[in-house]
Structure formats: structure tokens, C-alpha cells
Structure 1
């Protein structure tokens, strides 16, 4: 827009300017009253030069990088952990109910679930270590 300041602005030019102003608000460069004022002036601008003046004091557009995706533990391992946790919860509740119903406390038999948890933990650690040693393009 800056190269031809006296050229009449198109609807696309005005829309691009308002998009940049919206981004400036998201970045914290403009407050809402100033944004409203500038958008009003952008929509009524007749030349590209008028639009350039509205954007001149804003920093260069920052590209938003997507948040890093955490893929250390794959989906199937997360599902296995979820299933194990649900089964453990059911067993603990069943033990608690049975212990309350019985006259004397029962042995804590859900402790037998710790063996499968240990195996699952070893599989998780080995899998995560192997994935970290692969180059990024080799990870699934």
C-alpha cells in the first residue's frame, strides 16, 4: 500500500488494513477506542496513503507460532493408562464398599493392580525414549 499513496484504495485494501488493526489489538498495541477510531477511518479511506498513515506506527506483523504439540506419549499409551486408571478406580471403590459391609476390614486387594502399572510404566518410558531418539520426520 505504501508505494502508491495517491492511488484510490480498494475494498480489499481497506479489509487488509482492518485485519492488521485487529491483529494490533490482539498483540496489545492498540486499545479499543483507538481501534474503533482507526477502523472507522480505514473504512472511509479513499486512498492507499490514508491507509498507510493508519498503520505506520504499528510494529511489523508478528507471526503467531502454533503452540508446541506434545507427543511424547502416543495416543494408544494414553488410552492404556486411562483404562488402567478406570479399572483401578472401580477396584478401589469395590474394596471400599466390601470393607464397609464386612465386620472386619479386608486386605487391600487393589494393590495387585500395581504389577500391570509397573509394566505399563516401563513400556511408556522405553517408548518415549525411543521416540525422542528418532529424528522429527521419523516420529508418528
Structure 2
């Protein structure tokens, strides 16, 4: 039994190094044969320090630094879709109101407020309150 002197590497850490090697191969820094050799070395190693040796001659990828600090998006996808629909409809009704006002030759009653206002208020309340957002813990 061989006892390593460094901190043991986890499978997740090995998988991260394998993904990095795949990106380096896709960028053309290493070829397929070298990729296979390095992958074999990654899965044969037991220590974290040995994992870093596999990547030592390759540059650090900028996206990896961003992934470490990345958090989930502020709004879930369905709320972003609803917000985009609200914005599109708001622009449409404003365009219709502007066309009517231009056709009449003066500003008419600003009726788009009754479309834009309540819908926007409901979306804003749902966003702030966290309804359907998965952020509530109760």
C-alpha cells in the first residue's frame, strides 16, 4: 500500500481537471494523444498536488476564474421570459398610443398606463417577494 504525502484528491477534483484538459484540447493547446496521456495521469494520481502538475504547463483559463465566483441568476428563466413579454407588450402599446396621438395631431389620453402599470406591478411584486422563484424557504 502506497501512502501519499499530499492531500487526497476527490473524484470531483479529477473531473474538473479532465474538463479543463478537454477545453485545452479544444483550444488546440494539446493534441489527442497528449490528452489521453494526461487523462490517464489524472485518474492514476491520488494527491491534489499531482493534479496541478498535469496542468502546470498550460495557461489558466479565464472562464474558470469566473465559474468560481458564479452564482445562480437573480431571476428564474420563467420570470425573465415574463419580463421580456411585458417589455414587448409595453413597447407595442406605447407605439400604438404614439401612432394614435400622431394621427390626431395632439397627445391623447395615456391609456397604456392601464396595460403597463398593473402588469408591471404584479411582476415586480412577484420578483421582490420571491413567489414562484424558488427563493422562499417557508
The TM-score normalised by the length of structure 1 is 0.49
The TM-score normalised by the length of structure 2 is 0.49
Instruction: Report the structure number with the largest CA radius of gyration.
Output: 1
